[in-house]
């Protein structure tokens, strides 16, 4: 696998964005903004990730939105949040950044993937009147409804580069992608690079019910997008329960299940995901 060439591909997309720093307690929070053809869409990535979780979706979304993707504090190139780490401390850093990046009087859409869905729920609850809509994408934070994956492994000292690639390919099949044929070299590269830069443990936060506790305080329109085979949801029953919970707050909330997709739905089925998200945001009515 040619990681250098793959890194150049990722860098080429990053170069099309404006790289922005906003203050954080232990170093700046890093954002990338792609100027596009519509309102601001804020993207929050999953645990042990970075903005690159959205790599395949960003070019498909920018014709419709100005895309603003964060490296969540503690991940990617952003500084770490305070310790002990709490979702509210992370959200507060992001809210402060959005106050700087989104002009007063303007609203924004917000989509959060996995751990970023949990953090996004807190951000949405703290930005009433500014967050226009909140879309949960394979979101965590559902307490006992969230199933941690079993069988993933860590790279060991002495492994060759090829051996680490193969291990992470297996990890991606367990947690992130449904069809092994969709685990291409780019997915492995993105995953490895993100793991190298992660500095906080997100799983204990993902297993909490913080999203559930945030939902009553969210004044934005809400929606959900999940992959049909998302390993974290406990099957169709878990998907149905999530839809039931979201619609208990907003009975007409869209809830989309994308077939043949796993947890990392916006990578595995990028075009269908981008179309689904775009069409959902264009049809949501304000709450």
- What pLDDT does residue 154 have? 86
Domain that holds residue 87: 3-283
Mean pLDDT of the chain: 96
Q: Residue 145 pLDDT more than 80?
A: yes
**Torsion angles phi and psi, residue 42, rounded to 5:** -90, 130
CATH number of residue 223's parent domain? 3.40.50.1820
List pLDDT tens digits, range 40-83: 999 999 999 999 999 999 999 999 999 999 999 999 999 999 99
Q: Mind giving me the DSSP string for 131-145? A: EEEEEEES----GGG
pLDDT tens digits for range 105-141: 999 999 999 999 999 999 999 999 999 999 999 999 9
What was the pLDDT predicted at 36? 87
Give the mean model confidence (pLDDT) for residues 257-285: 96
For residue 254, pLDDT beyond 80: yes
Task: Note the pTM of the prediction, 2 decimals.
Answer: 0.97
**In a 10 Å sphere around its CB, with 0-12 CB exposed, 13-18 middle and 19+ buried, how is residue 170 labelled?**
middle
246 vs 231: CA distance, rounded Å: 20
Q: How far is CA 76 from the centre of its chain?
A: 13
Among the ranges given (52-66, 151-165, 180-194), the one the predictor scored with the smallest mean pLDDT:
151-165
**Are the beta carbons of 151 and 82 closer than 8 angstroms?**
no
Interatomic CA distance for residues 102 and 137, integer angstroms: 22
pLDDT digits (tens, 9 = 90+) for 191-214: 999 999 999 989 999 999 999 999
- 287 to 145, 249, 261: CA distances (angstroms): 27, 11, 30
**Burial class of residue 204 (count of CB atoms within 10 Å of its CB; 0-12, 13-18, 19+):** exposed
Mean pLDDT value across residues 269-280: 98
Facing residues of 110 across strands? 42, 134
The count of domains in the chain is: 1
pLDDT above 90: percentage of residues in the chain? 92
């Amino acid at each position: 696998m040619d990681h250098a060439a793959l890194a150049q591909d990722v860098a080429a997309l990053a170069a099309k964005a404006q790289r922005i720093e906003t203050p954080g307690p232990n170093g700046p929070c890093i954002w990338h903004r792609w100027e596009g053809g519509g309102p601001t869409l804020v993207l929050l990535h999953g645990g042990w990730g970075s903005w690159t979780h959205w790599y395949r979706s960003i070019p498909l979304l920018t014709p419709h939105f100005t895309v603003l993707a964060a490296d969540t504090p503690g991940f990617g190139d952003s500084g770490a949040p305070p310790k002990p780490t709490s979702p509210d401390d992370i959200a507060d850093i992001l809210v402060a950044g959005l106050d700087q990046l989104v002009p007063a009087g303007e609203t924004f859409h917000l989509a959060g993937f996995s751990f970023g869905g949990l953090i996004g729920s807190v951000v949405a609850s703290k930005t009433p009147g500014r967050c226009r809509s909140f879309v949960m994408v394979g979101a965590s934070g559902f307490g006992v409804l969230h199933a941690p994956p079993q069988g993933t492994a860590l790279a060991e000292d002495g492994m060759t580069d090829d051996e680490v690639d193969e291990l992470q390919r297996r990890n991606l099949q367990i947690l992130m992608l449904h069809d092994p044929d969709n685990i291409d070299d780019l997915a492995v590269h993105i995953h490895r690079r993100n793991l190298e830069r992660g500095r906080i443990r997100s799983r204990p936060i993902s297993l909490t019910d913080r999203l559930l506790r945030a939902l009553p305080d969210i004044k934005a329109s809400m929606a959900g997008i999940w992959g049909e085979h998302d390993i974290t949801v406990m099957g169709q029953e878990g998907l149905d329960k999530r839809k039931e919970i979201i619609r208990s707050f907003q009975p007409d909330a869209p809830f989309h299940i994308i077939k043949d997709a796993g947890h990392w739905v916006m990578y595995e089925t990028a075009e269908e995901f981008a179309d689904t998200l775009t069409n959902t945001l264009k049809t949501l009515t304000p709450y």
